[in-house]
């Protein structure tokens, strides 16, 4: 293995590797990294894990909506530099923050079992007991996600939507301590990981708000050439989650979407069939193209021999059937192509232009 090698503290002569895990400094990032560290420690009790925390552009620019910063690798660049320089061996991310293509030399070596992928409503304490349906007219809802705003504007036209930025702690503070927002919308997964599940007053189902590509899943980014680390983390892959996320990422990639366009998905695996619903929206949600397709993902025994990526969405999953991986990717491509033939490109181009002009 490349990297540092040290002898174990017991002095029993056993050689163990120090694995350095890069993380952002936010509380959510730390919690996510610690949870992966715990899993690795359980699987490989001899590993020595070190956590290296850094700030990223996304953490520093807290006053601008994500969709307006225009940097795709907002939360990832500094961490990738550290990976490249061998200062860390792996980085834990929320998959939804990872672009569908990574710079050369990096790959996602594990996608862990997805938490609840849906968005949730967190109410100002004075509105306890209400829902998006029963909040007073013109109540202001905080979100800077174009995806959430587009869907919810259409579904709840009596409400108003305004940007809110900052990490989860800042947002909850802004909600509770001021009168600016009646409620805010956040991913249920992040709230749960922070221990704030009790603040969730409503989980939004797909009829109200479909989720972002990769939402709720953690991903481990590694150096693509580092076979040992790739092999070590690959057992953390959760097959259904990987296949769902490959389909979702292929869909987004084919649409040429990023975090600055209103694209949403909903996926399910039932009896070896993978279902993908995908949609694109205008900023006000008035224009919407949405469709569902499915594919068989029966896992055969044709497991990958190599540690190469078998799909074009920056994920390496050599312990999962190549046939299933390819079927999932094709599903995403096919659904995107279907929406493109119906005019998805125009909707997204207009949304992008209007958002840039704001």
Residues making contact with ligand DPM (CB under 6 A)? 66, 94, 96-97, 143-145, 147-148, 186-187, 189-190, 212, 215-216, 259
Provide the token pair at 273: 């069939």
Give, in order, the Cα–Cα distances in Å from 278 to each of 25, 327, 329, 333. Answer: 33, 16, 14, 11
d(CA 16, CA 12): 11
Q: How many CB atoms lie within 10 A of CB 204?
A: 20
Quick check: 98 and 314 in contact, CB under 8 A?
Answer: yes
User: Cβ 312 to ligand DPM, closest distance in Å?
Assistant: 20
Nearest CB to ligand DPM, comparing residues 215 and 267: 215
Quick check: 190 and 28 in contact, CB under 8 A?
Answer: yes
d(CA 215, CA 151): 16
User: Cβ 6 to ligand DPM, closest distance in Å?
Assistant: 33
Nearest CB to ligand DPM, comparing residues 73 and 294: 73
Q: Which residue among 46, 59, 97, 133 is the active-site one?
A: 97
Nearest CB to ligand DPM, comparing residues 254 and 295: 254
User: Cβ 190 to ligand DPM, closest distance in Å?
Assistant: 3
Nearest CB to ligand DPM, comparing residues 106 and 211: 211
Nearest CB to ligand DPM, comparing residues 260 and 316: 260
Quote the radius of gyration of the chain (alpha carbons, Å).
Answer: 21
Q: Identify whether 97 is a catalytic site residue.
A: yes
User: Cβ 302 to ligand DPM, closest distance in Å?
Assistant: 31
User: Cβ 293 to ligand DPM, closest distance in Å?
Assistant: 22
Nearest CB to ligand DPM, comparing residues 147 and 199: 147
User: Cβ 295 to ligand DPM, closest distance in Å?
Assistant: 24
What are the contacts of 345-353 at 24+ separation with CB within 8 A?
Answer: 347/280, 347/281, 347/282, 347/287, 347/289, 348/255, 348/256, 348/257, 348/261, 348/262, 348/263, 348/280, 350/282, 351/146, 351/150, 351/261, 351/262, 351/280, 351/281, 351/282, 351/283, 352/260, 352/261
Quick check: 117 and 216 in contact, CB under 8 A?
Answer: yes
Which residues are annotated as catalytic?
97
């Amino acid at each position: 293995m490349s990297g540092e090698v040290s002898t174990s503290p017991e002095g029993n002569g056993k050689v163990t590797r120090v694995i350095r895990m890069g993380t952002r400094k936010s509380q959510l990032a730390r919690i996510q990294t610690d949870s992966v560290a715990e899993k690795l420690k359980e699987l490989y009790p001899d590993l020595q894990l070190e956590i290296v925390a850094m700030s990223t552009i996304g953490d520093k620019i807290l006053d601008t909506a994500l969709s307006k910063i225009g940097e795709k690798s907002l939360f990832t660049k500094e961490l990738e530099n550290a990976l490249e320089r061998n200062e860390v061996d792996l980085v834990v991310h929320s998959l939804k923050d990872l672009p569908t293509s990574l710079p050369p030399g990096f790959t996602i070596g594990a996608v862990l079992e997805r938490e609840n992928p849906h968005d949730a409503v967190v109410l100002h304490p004075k509105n306890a007991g209400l829902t998006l349906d029963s909040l007073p007219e013109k109540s202001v809802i905080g979100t800077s996600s174009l995806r959430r705003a587009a869907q919810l504007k259409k579904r709840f036209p009596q409400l108003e939507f305004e940007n809110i930025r900052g990490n989860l702690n800042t947002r909850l503070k802004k909600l509770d301590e001021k009168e600016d927002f009646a409620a805010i919308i956040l991913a249920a997964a992040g709230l749960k990981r922070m221990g704030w599940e009790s603040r969730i007053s409503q989980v939004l189902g797909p009829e109200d708000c479909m989720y972002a590509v990769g939402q709720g899943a953690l991903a481990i980014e590694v150096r693509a050439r580092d076979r040992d680390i790739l092999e070590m983390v690959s057992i953390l892959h959760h097959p259904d989650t990987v296949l769902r996320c490959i389909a979702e990422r292929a869909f987004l990639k084919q649409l040429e979407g990023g975090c600055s366009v209103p694209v949403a998905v909903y996926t399910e695996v039932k009896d070896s069939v993978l279902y993908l619903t995908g949609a694109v929206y205008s900023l006000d949600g008035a224009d919407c193209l949405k469709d569902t397709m499915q594919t068989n993902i029966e896992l055969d025994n044709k497991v990958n021999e190599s540690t190469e990526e078998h799909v074009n969405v920056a994920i390496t999953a050599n312990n999962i059937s190549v046939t299933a991986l390819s079927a999932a990717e094709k599903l995403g491509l096919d659904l995107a192509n279907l929406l493109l033939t119906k005019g998805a490109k125009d909707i997204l181009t207009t949304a992008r232009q209007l958002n840039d002009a704001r």
